[in-house]
Amino acid sequence: MKPPSPDTVPTDIYLSFVSSLFGNRKTLVTGVFVHILMYVLVFLSTYASIYLAFCVAFAIVFGLRINFFRQFDAADKNSFTRADIASWETRYVIGAAATAAILGIGSGYAILILRDPLAEFICVAVTMASMVSIVGRNYGSPRAVDLQILACCVPIVIACLLSQELYKGIASLMLIPFGLTTRAMANGMREFLYRNIVASREISLMADRFDTALNNMPHGLFMLDAQNRILVVNRKACELLNFADPQRLKDCEFDVVLRYGARHAFIDGSLPGLIQRQLAQLVSGTLSRTLIQFNEDQFLEFSASRRADGIVILIFEDVTVRIRAERKILHMVRYDPLTGLPNREYFVDQVKEKLAARNRESRIGILVLDIDDFKHVNDTKGHVAGDRLLVAVAERLKALAGTTVLVARLVGDQFVLFFPNEDDVPDIDGRIRALHAAMAGTYDAEDSSFRVSASGGYMTMPGREFRPEEWQIKVDLALFEAKSRMKGGCSAFEQEMDARYVERQTLKDDLREAVEAGRLQAVYQPMYTPDGSRIECCEALARWIHPEKGSIPPDLFVQLAEEMGIVAGITRFMVDRACRDCVSWPAPLAVSVNLSAQDLRNDEVVKIVIAALETSGLEPSRLHLEVTESCLMDEVATVRSILADLRARGITIAIDDFGTGFSSLSYLDTLPVDVVKIDRSFVRDITTDSRRFKLLCGIVDLSRALSLHVVIEGVETLEQLALVVERNLADIIQGYVFSPPITPEQVAEKVANLDKRQLGAGRLFSPEVVR
């Protein structure tokens, strides 16, 4: 490698080389003392006065050089530019070259002029000795080395050659390789030092960068030797473990550091043993990663790598925030956010854990509670009050359950309880029913008091027979049984319920197939004028004849259809069939079709009705649509909009079963209604109950005051008919007193018979008319 020149080396290294020239003053003093002493000896031996002049020259040059050295020491080297450094190098080179020149000239004078062997020996020896010092003192400046070698050697060579002595001339030429060797040695030393300085700088830079990276990394780090002593520790590790100075931890045993942490409370007192075992597994290589809880509020995750020489590197980070977030997410996954109770999935997991930890076998119980009429609370008091009520119910459940019974929120207003029966009480049914009974009562929520009852369904079984995939089905069957019998009751699961459930599901499948295939039937109950002389309208009634079970009651299959969400299919079939049948009847006979609450949740029913009218060609005025009051309870604005749209197309709108729902009278004035159909419950006892008769009269008077047509349903006896006609309570009468539901062909026959048998308005109850 070529020795670096001052023009190529970095400025700071150039300064260090030049500074080395001004460094060792002792050799300079020693050198000038020896030079003067030797030249004094030459003078004494030869009496050549020129050597005294040389001694004076040595002293003057030495004085100037010492002055330069002091000026260099006093200078602010941090402000040196490259030109400043070169200037100081030049000053040094001049002084060094002057000293070498005096030596070289003195040696040449002794060889060429004095020709005294002792003088020649002394001068040449001192000069050659000085050349040797050139390497050690002047390696930092190539110019200083070159000029000093030339100043020392050239006068000697010239003097030897001019002396015309062959052997001296040949010997003097040997100074050329000597000078070159000396120069090469100086350059080699300068190159070696340059390399070491550069390497040292790189190592220092790398060390500084490593230290910066090590102490600014987000992870803590320990490097341990084979004896478990700390070799390296970074600042983050000290921050995480509450140590002030990383240097104090070096060469300490890692176990001692942990024990110190336990004494100074950054490690919980109960944890050091566990922590040491975990870290021992990491250090030994048994574990590669582990999570360690150092105290209640600090979690550190460690990973370890072991080298072949036994050194172990432990890297760890504070994952407390992550652990808290994971715990929060886990809590959100496991628990209901409103009541704080476990959800269904976590409830099942808890039951499994309870059963797995049992020491003996016993019967267990699972109870599902459903808050009765909870929807009414949301509708009347708002969802906030409903939520507060659920929280109050949950609090009472937890208080009643104590520490032995598991409580969870199943869904909505349903709660589930698990009775592990660890004390093996024989009457677990009694315990379940007692808790169910204790749930009923008054609850305070949102500045309101609610009288609450809950329907319950439960099952008991041996613990070993618990099946997560079966329990809810069976308990739901028991709950359904309880609610069908009486709200607020509690029923235990029985195998017969399972059979009924399977049968019900099979019936649902058959109903869906029948609706999709259009295998339902339509019958019609005529609605007569009070005198029985004319049929004004016929109510379309759906019928389903099951291929195996025969006729299925309408209230059963309509309820199934509502549960399945296929009521729209039945409505589509009935509207279409009713319109087609009505077209075949003589005008202006109309047909009436019932709509369900599900039909009125969107405007799809309008499209169904329009399509049926267009397909059949029936005039809209001959189609009546009946809605029950239950249809009006939800989304009144949507229902009003749909009914107004239908009524605007010429279709008649009737309220069916009027008087059986909530806020009946308010609907008469707010909805687009043409006809009121008074429920049969108001007619049943009018011949014997004067109060009910007066109530019927009041409803009729109110309806007529609002210009509504009145239809009375359920008139079954001649006495009821006579009373209704006598008081003029109805515009149209529907009931078995005139006709049961009949086929569309029979409707046409009845209309034809009535037209033939018109015997006069006075004969109201003629058998020919009535029958």
Q: Residue 188 half-sphere exposure, CB side, CA atoms within 13 Å?
A: 7
pLDDT band at 634 (very low <50, low <70, confident <90, very high): low
Q: How do residues 328-368 score in pLDDT, each as one tens digit?
A: 888 888 898 888 899 988 888 888 888 887 777 788 888 99
The CA angle 437-443-447, to the nearest 5 degrees, is 175
Q: Is it the case that residue 763 has pLDDT exceeding 60?
A: no
Q: Is the peptide bond before 177 cis (omega within 30 degrees of 0)?
A: no
**Contact between 655 and 626 (Cβ < 8 Å):** yes
List the 289-295 sheet strands across, edge first.
Answer: 230-233, 220-224, 312-318, 298-306, 289-295
Q: How do residues 218-232 score in pLDDT, each as one tens digit?
A: 788 888 887 778 888
- How far apart CA 279 and CA 259 sit, in angstroms, is 13
Q: Which residue has the tokens 């019958």?
A: 523
In the chain, pLDDT over 90 holds for what percent of residues? Answer: 19
Helix (H, G, I), strand (E, B) or coil at 626: strand
Higher-confidence position of 67 and 272: 67
Question: What is the per-residue DSSP string for 635-695?
Answer: -HHHHHHHHHHHHHTT-EEEEEEETSSSSHHHHHHHS---EEEE-GGGTTTTTT-HHHHHH
Mean pLDDT value of segment 245-272: 63
Q: Is it the case that residue 246 has pLDDT exceeding 80?
A: no
Q: Which residue has the tokens 């006069």?
A: 760
What is the structure's pLDDT at 459? 87
Return the number of other C-beta atoms located less than 10 Å from residue 78's C-beta. Answer: 6
Task: Please give the sequence-ordered ranges of beta strands (E in DSSP) within 453-567, or none if there are none.
Answer: 454-462, 490-492, 521-528, 535-546, 550-552
What is the structure's pLDDT at 645? 92
- Record the tokens describing residue 386, joined without a space: 């409903």
What is the structure's pLDDT at 305? 78
Higher-confidence position of 276 and 473: 473
Mean pLDDT value of segment 205-225: 76
What is the structure's pLDDT at 259? 64
What is the structure's pLDDT at 73? 85
pLDDT band at 470 (very low <50, low <70, confident <90, very high): confident
What is the structure's pLDDT at 460? 86
Which segment of 5-14, 42-51, 567-576 scores lowest on mean pLDDT? 5-14
What is the structure's pLDDT at 663? 45
Q: Is it the case that residue 767 has pLDDT exceeding 50?
A: no
CA–centroid distance for 415 within its chain: 28
Which segment of 333-342, 642-651, 659-668 scores lowest on mean pLDDT? 659-668
Task: List, in order, residues 6 or more apart from 412 with CB less than 8 Å away.
Answer: 374
Q: Is it the case that residue 738 has pLDDT exceeding 70?
A: yes
Is residue 677 left, alpha or beta, with left meaning phi > 0 and alpha meaning psi from -120 to 50? beta
> Exposed (0-12), middle (13-18) or buried (19+): which is 684, by Cβ within 10 Å?
middle
Helix (H, G, I), strand (E, B) or coil at 36: helix
Mean pLDDT value of segment 382-388: 85
- How far apart CA 512 and CA 544 sit, in angstroms, is 11
Instruction: Round the average pLDDT of the chain to a whole number and report it.
Output: 83
Mean pLDDT value of segment 290-318: 78
Count the residues in the chain. Answer: 771
Mean pLDDT value of segment 719-738: 92
Helix (H, G, I), strand (E, B) or coil at 221: strand
Alpha carbon distances (Å) from 417 to 77, 366, 393, 476: 86, 6, 13, 13
- Record the tokens describing residue 678, joined without a space: 């008074």
What is the structure's pLDDT at 771? 38
> Exposed (0-12), middle (13-18) or buried (19+): which is 381, by Cβ within 10 Å?
middle
Higher-confidence position of 256 and 476: 476
Which one of 374-378, 407-411, 688-692 scores highest in mean pLDDT? Answer: 407-411
What is the structure's pLDDT at 607? 92
H or E segment and range at residue 713: strand 709-713
- How far apart CA 338 and CA 526 sit, in angstroms, is 53
Q: Is it the case that residue 707 has pLDDT exceeding 80?
A: yes
What is the structure's pLDDT at 261? 56
- Record the tokens describing residue 507, joined without a space: 């019936």
pLDDT band at 761 (very low <50, low <70, confident <90, very high): very low
Q: How do residues 180-203 score in pLDDT, each as one tens digit?
A: 888 888 777 777 777 777 777 777
H or E segment and range at residue 588: none
Q: Is it the case that residue 426 has pLDDT exceeding 90?
A: no
In the chain, pLDDT over 70 holds for what percent of residues? Answer: 91
Q: Is it the case that residue 208 has pLDDT exceeding 80?
A: no
Which alpha helices (H) appear in 290-381, and where do they start and end?
320-334, 344-356, 374-381
What is the structure's pLDDT at 538? 95
pLDDT band at 295 (very low <50, low <70, confident <90, very high): low
Q: How do residues 522-565 score in pLDDT, each as one tens digit?
A: 999 999 999 888 999 999 999 999 988 888 888 888 888 888 88
Q: Is it the case that residue 381 has pLDDT exceeding 60?
A: yes
Structural domains in the chain, CATH included, are 11-201 (no CATH), 217-325 (3.30.450.20), 339-493 (3.30.70.270), 513-745 (3.20.20.450)
**Contact between 491 and 367 (Cβ < 8 Å):** no
Alpha carbon distances (Å) from 611 to 103, 625, 651: 129, 15, 14
Q: How do residues 667-701 score in pLDDT, each as one tens digit?
A: 666 778 889 998 888 888 888 888 888 888 988 88
What is the structure's pLDDT at 274? 66
What is the structure's pLDDT at 764? 43
What is the structure's pLDDT at 745? 92
Helix (H, G, I), strand (E, B) or coil at 290: strand
Which of 574, 641, 586 is closest to 612 using CA atoms? 574
Which of 173, 92, 177 is closest to 139 using CA atoms? 92
**Contact between 744 and 584 (Cβ < 8 Å):** yes
Q: Which residue has the tokens 């797995």?
A: 356
Q: How do residues 69-114 score in pLDDT, each as one tens digit?
A: 888 888 888 888 888 888 888 988 898 889 889 988 998 898 889 8
Mean pLDDT value of segment 14-35: 81
Q: Roughly how many angstroms between the first and final C-alpha of the chain, as a whole number?
A: 131
Paired residues of 676 in beta bridges = 655, 710
Which of 572, 570, 588, 589 is closest to 524 using CA atoms? 589
What is the structure's pLDDT at 543? 93
